[in-house]
Structure 1
Amino acid sequence: MARLPLLAGDGWRRSICAYCGTGCGLLARAKDGVVREVRGDPDHPVNRGKLCAKGALLGQVFDTGDRLLTPMVRDRKGAHTRVTHWDEAIERVAGAIRRNVAEHGPDSVMLYGSGQLPTEDYYLFGKLAKGFIGTNNQDTNSRLCMASAVAAYNLAFGADSPPASYEDIESANTFLILGANIEACHPILFDRIKARKRGDRDGVQVIVVDPRRTRTAEIADIHLPVLPGTDVALLLSLLFEVRLAGGLDERFIEEHTSGWEEVERALQGWSAERASAVTGLDAQQIVDAARIIATNGPLLSLWTMGANQSTSGVDKNLALINLSLATGNIGKPGAGPFSLTGQPNAMGGRECGGLATTLPGHRMVADPDHRAEVEAAWGLEPGAISDRPGLTAIEMIEALERDEVKVVWIAATNPVASLPNAPRVRAALQRAELVVVQDAYYPTETGRIADVLLPAAQWSERPGTMTNSERRICLLEQIGEAPGLALPDWRIICRVADALGYGNDFDYADTEAIFDEYRELTRGRDLDITGVSYEVLRETPGGIQWPHPEGAILDDAEGSSSPRLFESGRFPTADGRARFHAPGYRTPAEILSEEYPLALLTGRVKDQWHTMTRTGKVPKLMRSEHEPFLEMHPDDAGHLGVRDRQLVRVTSRRGSLHVRARVTDAIRSGAVFAPFHWGELWNRHAVTNAATSEATDARSKQPELKFAAVRVEPVAAAAA
């Protein structure tokens, strides 16, 4: 088997991109301790040397003038920050945790992390919170993007196990892409889909479900511009019509699943005609899409935030999974229900217990056996891990408003800009006794209200592992040096743990030692990676897909020992069967009205990412998309007296923003779209998340960022 050393020659070293969950391989080269050059790794199985503009320009995010170089503290609320030393900053954090745990209990502390943390750091954040502080109040910004998919995979398969791989793109005959603008958000995967389509124009069929006619939708054979919030109705109807077209795999249903009868009852009456009245789609288009699914070979369903960020997010995910199970499109080449992650290590955080309801190795805090297993591994007394589920992201804000949370420790994320109803988030955090922000940059919207600022190393400045959407674990070796006094996140966590008196349990020589401890907690689990080590990953820089237990053999140098799950038809449930769950169609949390007649959708643009703490510093990317905007249909614009490029005010029940209108028929009437990247540091009058809704899915607790009832009016008219 060929090996590809991490040291690629001429000073180039292999790594993984710091942006989306695709997990593209990079070659990076440092000069004077700072990464200056980045290019695609031609030998990496994910991207074969290709990079999007964001990844190609990663070398420009280091010398930006706003790196956080030293710890900083405020002596009191509202005071200016001052530079301090690490010992004072660490004691400020540890002292507040000790005092509040003693006075108010461990649940007065909240740790909030990010899908940009390496797995080792994620793991330690959870170990400190859940094992030693004694609270399950550890959540992550992945709550905003992946929680609904996690819940649905667990319900359907018995584990959070995405079953497909990118190589299935090259074998799929039918693509169902729902709520995912892959061209903008996962551009390298979009290139692979386009190549598959070009290779068999007549055989390969693409169905795209999106209220917008994006560049992703432009390659579709059928584009279904569904009314926002009606995806479950459409998916119920698609399965109804697939059954009429003879597309069910009845043998697979009989031998490998349970609960089909419940779904059959839920399908009753969901004909294309009924769904048409709900979704605003042409009934014949629904029938045509269903016939393609029923007859055109392997079906690969791909989705992202359009399915997840909804008060019906879990039901949307379950409906997509049902479609694959009912047609037998799982565990075979070119097939599967495949949720694409949005961050480079959102998957790794899910694996190591980074959510408020989970523990390492896909364990759940509600399961007493799972708690006991982790307690034993961490050397804790029985009962040390709480049986109470922790606070999720939105619940954190509500608990702050009730003065129940006193200390919030935020790492590698910017919730004042990224959470819905941003003014409420800022006000809630300002109520805390202590807000700790651990970041590579300052200021950020969240950093501006921090009481303690801890300077962190970022991508390329520290080693670690990350897992992409297809369960591929890759090693990121250190390439450059962290500036100033910045430390890797794991070292900061260990220093706080030591100050709390837990130093013996957080005494690690390096990230490899952390990984070795974590991987043992996966032994015998669905994601068993006991056969993965830093040594193995150094020899396989294309990464290794889990599961990869001790003794497993790689098929090739690309780490494809487990490209596809459930090929045997057996699932990690008690009886080995996948579970059907009947989704129910519900309207979004907010209802359109005469006062708020339009549905606001939010999302990404291709050349920006998250809250722009990196991409906003790259001139070429800023020239591409330099300001926020509002897409709206010509019919809606004409009715409201809005002209293209005119400044408009967008108002919801929570807040408003001023942006320029882009009048286009690429979005259906009744809906408007605004990117969420720009926070108050860029333009305090143009914050999309000032208007978004914090309503959440009852099961996943993921907020409904894809639907807010708004009105739109020209700024002059709004001021009159």
Structure 2
Amino acid sequence: MGDVVRTTCPYCGVGCGVIARRSADGSVEIKGDPDHPANFGRLCSKGSALAETISLEGRALEPTITGKSAEWDDALDRVANAFSTAIAEHGPDSVALYVSGQLLTEDYYVANKLMKGFIGSANIDTNSRLCMSSSVAGHVRAFGSDTVPGTYEDLEDADLVVLTGSNLAWCHPVLYQRIAAAKERRGSAMNIVVIDPRRTATCDIADTHLAIRPDSDVPLFLGLLAYLGNAGAVDCDYVARHTSGFPAALDAARSWSRSAVAMRTGLTSAEVEAFYALFTRTAKTVTCYSQGVNQSSVGTDKVNAIINCHLATGRIGRPGMGPFSLTGQPNAMGGREVGGLANMLAAHMSLDKPQDRDRVQRFWNAPRVADRPGLKAVDLFEAVASGRIKALWIMSTNPVVSMPDADRVREAITACPFVVVSDLFATTETARLADVFLPATGWGEKNGTVTNSERRISRQRAFLPVPGQARPDWWQLAEVGRRMGFATAFSYESPADIFAEHAALSTFENDGARDFDIGAYAGVDAEAYAAMTPFSWPRPADGEGNARFFSEGGFYTADRKARFVDVTSALAAKPLGKGAFTLNTGRVRDQWHTMTRTGRSATLSAHLAEPFVEIHPSDASENGISPAGLVRVSGEKGDVILRALVTNRQARGSLFVPMHWSGEFSGHARVDALVPPVVDPVSGQPASKQSRATIRCFKVTTYGFMVSRDKPDFGDLAYWATARTAGGWRSEIAADAAVEDWAQWLRDSLALRDELTVSSYSDRVAGVERHVFFNGDKLVAALYLACEPVAVARNWIVSQLASDGLGVAERLSLSAGRPGGGQKDPGATVCACYGIGINQIVDAVHGGCHSVNAVGDTLGAGTNCGSCRAEIGRIINGCLVAAAE
């Protein structure tokens, strides 16, 4: 049967438990852990497909110096010498680390100890700055600490769940399924309100969708605070005993009448009134928020506007009540615990407080501790560009794709005198710029802990052998620390040693003065660490700790009272200008960050296989854009070429573009190159959802769809996007100039042998060509061309690529681009987990399956992760409406 290992998913902040079973033949089976309290056995499509992402194909398995193989000692010496030289010549602030929420807590801890305690600079920031630093800043302003008050159980216990700036169905699917299941059980006793400019998949379980204008959350919640005050819904006893600043915050909020809120948000006065009345009369309310709140130039103010409403009503820290930040990455919370951001200190202590700096310095026995905040992500790369940073270490992230003003970031890294990158793959846009590349261990190979959005610490455990010369990130950092002269402080032998020290620091001179306390694990040894089960903090040495914070006050400010924050400044709507749109970037269901992991999964690439821009039909019509046509989206900093997805889900005047596609999978789709480096002034988090853009048709002479066993070389084609399939690759292409011989182009792009059999068809008048190459009875490659977006049975063609042998009928059908008699085209993939296409679902509906559950019983679609259930529901409704007509 193979060895069974309980571990944790490496994707979003839900922190799902995973059971991995490795068989004797090396194959791995993945399923959800039914005993893990975050997911109770559920997994989303990404988690379910983890086994497809752990192959060694493309992995970098040895260190390199200037692109040439090197020994570990030489590479580590080069890093230590470069950092030491820069510090000696230019001071400690001339070096920097840019790390990642993909790191384990133990990696994060060593990185921050090295930078802040021994190098003596706080120039260490993380890509978590891009997703949740506004939440951190809002928590600190209100609570005096970065504390998430509630638990996942509150999402199921609440009578009202408000989801604002959160496409939970696609970005935190397991939490979405927990809420959906609770809604199904409780019916009308549970209300769900979604606040989002887009009609996302999450709206399908909502009783109300408030389609507010982009960046108008603050006026909406200011108006709510005023309404609560006027309606007598304030918990006066809680406010008096546990908070300060309420009268001023309420007076400021009262300038926002319901009509003013309606005008600013684009809602009707009736919609505003209904939401406010529902919130007012529903005691058990949870307000969940994510990137739509955080990724804004007023993100911290949005967070505090939400928290103000919960403090005013005393709806915090009790079952079914509270503001709830949903973190984006698997270990953004663990990074926060160890001071992973440039303005934080380890164990939820503050760089701004001399007593905290002294405490950490004494605990670490460090020569110095950074005495001021370091450079936040955007400022850090600007310092690299200006030459102030002489040595830069980037770990487990791809800022050349993910940072705003991404082209400027690439130029900065290129010009930096010394760059070291630690990652799994040396092929990312960032890794290609490294002077020294260090191969890291990946999920399934490394050991450590992560913390999810509800403060639950879980183990990631290894179940795969460490490949080649890959090494854990903590080991790389510790080795460099030793070489820089700090051997005693970095003499760790295992992650257990690091976690024990981390836990000991959390309880050191604490006595309840700090929220983060896991002193119960301060003496953990290797055996206990190996057996550790998931637990939520606080977990002090003398007891269990509370599951929730602040029901009876006890905030972490000087007077132990929460602060109401006046957030009424900088609220004017910013005019876009003629012909401009609001550009919103974000995630899709089946991909993760810059696709270095998920892009290797055929299952995950089947649902949305190329980069796209969502645009409202009226906006598309006014700009001459047709469905599935190619468009150029331009911003202040550059442009991208994308497929047009014309949909009523998108609001007028707005565009949505996924942030995942990199140069590894597309020719011209790095959308963050368009996003200007505008940040929230408090948190430093970039405003990735409200930049200005224009859109116009991209003129194409030829559109193409192709499949191939090998990844093509697309040369100088105007547009291309490629994705994994079972058996090879599927690609969309387009040319903006004539290509003399497409069959030869295909041969050249794949280096095809001359002896292959080719079946070609060409209608030059209609602009249609087809070229299919066979090796005996096996499909090697096929290219379909037309003057308009190519209409062929894509998923059926892809399925033939995986076949070991095709009959005459199949080979003839491939030339036609569609299945012949007796063969079925599944249509575009809807359920990635089971590979179920839209045509199969439509057939099931016509056969009598008139509910999502019925379709699931018949096809399996929607019965694993459930992320596609909303889409299945829309297909069913569309079929039934059509039948009624």
Counterpart in 1 of 2:458? 474
Q: Is the counterpart of residue 371 in structure 1 residue 354 in structure 2?
A: no
Q: 1:34, CA displacement in angstroms? A: 5.8
Query: What residue identity is the alignment partner of 1:544?
Result: F
Counterpart in 1 of 2:401? 417
Structure-2 change in CA distance of 1:126 and 1:105 (3 Å): same
Structure-2 change in CA distance of 1:538 and 1:324 (3 Å): farther
Q: Is the counterpart of residue 441 in structure 1 residue 425 in structure 2?
A: yes
Q: 8 Å contact 2:264–2:573 — kept in the other structure?
A: no
Instruction: Return the match for 1:667 from 644, 650, 671.
Output: 650
Q: 8 Å contact 1:629–1:661 — kept in the other structure?
A: yes
**Which 5+ residue runs of structure 1 have no aligned equivalent?**
1-8, 75-80, 554-560
Q: 8 Å contact 2:2–2:24 — kept in the other structure?
A: no
Counterpart in 1 of 2:225? 239
Deviates more, 1:341-350 or 1:358-367: 358-367
The separation in 1 between residues aligned to 2:449 and 2:686, in whole angstroms, is 28
Q: 8 Å contact 1:230–1:585 — kept in the other structure?
A: no
Q: Is the counterpart of residue 490 in structure 1 residue 474 in structure 2?
A: yes
Query: What residue identity is the alignment partner of 1:112?
Result: Y
Instruction: Provide, for residues 354-384 of structure 1, a one-character-per-residue CA deviation record: whole Å limited to 9, x for no partner.
Output: 1101111101112111110110011124xx1
Q: 1:611, CA displacement in angstroms? A: 0.6
Structure-2 change in CA distance of 1:343 and 1:572 (3 Å): same
Q: 1:589, CA displacement in angstroms? A: 10
Structure-2 change in CA distance of 1:648 and 1:307 (3 Å): same
Q: 1:246, CA displacement in angstroms? A: 3.2
Query: What residue identity is the alignment partner of 2:118?
Result: F
Question: Tell me, what secondary structure is at the counterpart of 2:357?
Answer: helix
- Counterpart mapping for 1:303-702 below 5 A: 303-381=289-367, 384-523=368-507, 524=510, 525-532=514-521, 533=524, 539=531, 541=533, 543-553=534-544, 562-586=546-570, 591-594=575-578, 597-702=580-685
Counterpart in 1 of 2:842? none
Structure-2 change in CA distance of 1:590 and 1:513 (3 Å): farther
Question: Tell me, what secondary structure is at the counterpart of 1:177?
Answer: strand
Q: 1:200, CA displacement in angstroms? A: 2.0
The separation in 1 between residues aligned to 2:620 and 2:546, in whole angstroms, is 51
Q: Is the counterpart of residue 203 in structure 1 residue 189 in structure 2?
A: yes
Over the aligned positions, Cα root-mean-square deviation in angstroms equals 1.8
The separation in 2 between residues aligned to 1:470 and 1:712, in whole angstroms, is 40
Instruction: Provide, for residues 211-231 of structure 1, a one-character-per-residue CA deviation record: whole Å limited to 9, x for no partner.
Output: 111111222122111111111
Deviates more, 1:516-525 or 1:649-658: 516-525
Q: Is the counterpart of residue 28 in structure 1 residue 20 in structure 2?
A: yes
Counterpart in 1 of 2:690? 707
Q: 1:170, CA displacement in angstroms? A: 2.0
The separation in 2 between residues aligned to 1:100 and 1:35, in whole angstroms, is 46
Identical pairs, percent: 43
Query: What residue identity is the alignment partner of 1:527?
Result: F
Counterpart in 1 of 2:797? none
The separation in 1 between residues aligned to 2:173 and 2:449, in whole angstroms, is 23
- Counterpart mapping for 1:82-97 below 5 A: 82-97=68-83
The separation in 2 between residues aligned to 1:195 and 1:270, in whole angstroms, is 36
Q: 8 Å contact 2:166–2:292 — kept in the other structure?
A: yes
Question: Tell me, what secondary structure is at the counterpart of 1:194?
Answer: helix
Q: Is the counterpart of residue 38 in structure 1 residue 30 in structure 2?
A: yes
Question: Tell me, what secondary structure is at the counterpart of 2:366?
Answer: coil
- Counterpart mapping for 1:20-419 below 5 A: 20-31=12-23, 36-74=28-66, 81-381=67-367, 384-419=368-403
Query: What residue identity is the alignment partner of 2:210?
Result: L
Instruction: Provide, for residues 436-487 of structure 1, a one-character-per-residue CA deviation record: whole Å limited to 9, x for no partner.
Output: 1100122111111111110000112121111100000112222211210000
Question: Tell me, what secondary structure is at the counterpart of 1:353?
Answer: coil
Structure-2 change in CA distance of 1:389 and 1:164 (3 Å): same
Q: 1:569, CA displacement in angstroms? A: 2.3
Query: What residue identity is the alignment partner of 2:436?
Result: V
The separation in 1 between residues aligned to 2:108 and 2:449, in whole angstroms, is 10
When normalised by structure 1's length, the TM-score is 0.94
**Which 5+ residue runs of structure 2 have no aligned equivalent?**
701-717, 719-735, 738-885
Q: 8 Å contact 1:35–1:460 — kept in the other structure?
A: no
The separation in 2 between residues aligned to 1:34 and 1:386, in whole angstroms, is 46
Question: Tell me, what secondary structure is at the counterpart of 1:565?
Answer: coil
State the structure with more CA Rg. Answer: 2
Q: 1:243, CA displacement in angstroms? A: 2.9
The separation in 1 between residues aligned to 2:686 and 2:587, in whole angstroms, is 16
Query: What residue identity is the alignment partner of 2:624?
Result: G
Q: 1:245, CA displacement in angstroms? A: 3.3
The separation in 2 between residues aligned to 1:449 and 1:40, in whole angstroms, is 38
Counterpart in 1 of 2:699? 716
The separation in 2 between residues aligned to 1:666 and 1:239, in whole angstroms, is 29
Deviates more, 1:171-180 or 1:494-503: 494-503
Aligned length: 695
Structure-2 change in CA distance of 1:184 and 1:131 (3 Å): same
Q: 1:286, CA displacement in angstroms? A: 0.9
Counterpart in 2 of 1:556? none
Query: What residue identity is the alignment partner of 2:384?
Result: L
Instruction: Provide, for residues 685-720 of structure 1, a one-character-per-residue CA deviation record: whole Å limited to 9, x for no partner.
Output: 111111112100111000000111011111129999
The separation in 2 between residues aligned to 1:467 and 1:61, in whole angstroms, is 22
Question: Tell me, what secondary structure is at the counterpart of 1:200?
Answer: helix
Counterpart in 1 of 2:779? none
Higher RCO structure (Cα 8 Å, ≥6 apart): 1
Question: Tell me, what secondary structure is at the counterpart of 2:551?
Answer: coil
Instruction: Provide, for residues 254-302 of structure 1, a one-character-per-residue CA deviation record: whole Å limited to 9, x for no partner.
Output: 1211110121121122111101111111111111001111002211010
The separation in 1 between residues aligned to 2:592 and 2:314, in whole angstroms, is 36
Instruction: Provide, for residues 114-147 of structure 1, a one-character-per-residue CA deviation record: whole Å limited to 9, x for no partner.
Output: 1111111100001111111121101100000110
Query: What residue identity is the alignment partner of 2:416?
Result: A
The separation in 2 between residues aligned to 1:539 and 1:504, in whole angstroms, is 28
Instruction: Provide, for residues 600-621 of structure 1, a one-character-per-residue CA deviation record: whole Å limited to 9, x for no partner.
Output: 0011001001110100000010
Question: Tell me, what secondary structure is at the counterpart of 2:699?
Answer: helix
Deviates more, 1:581-590 or 1:417-426: 581-590
The separation in 2 between residues aligned to 1:367 and 1:55, in whole angstroms, is 41
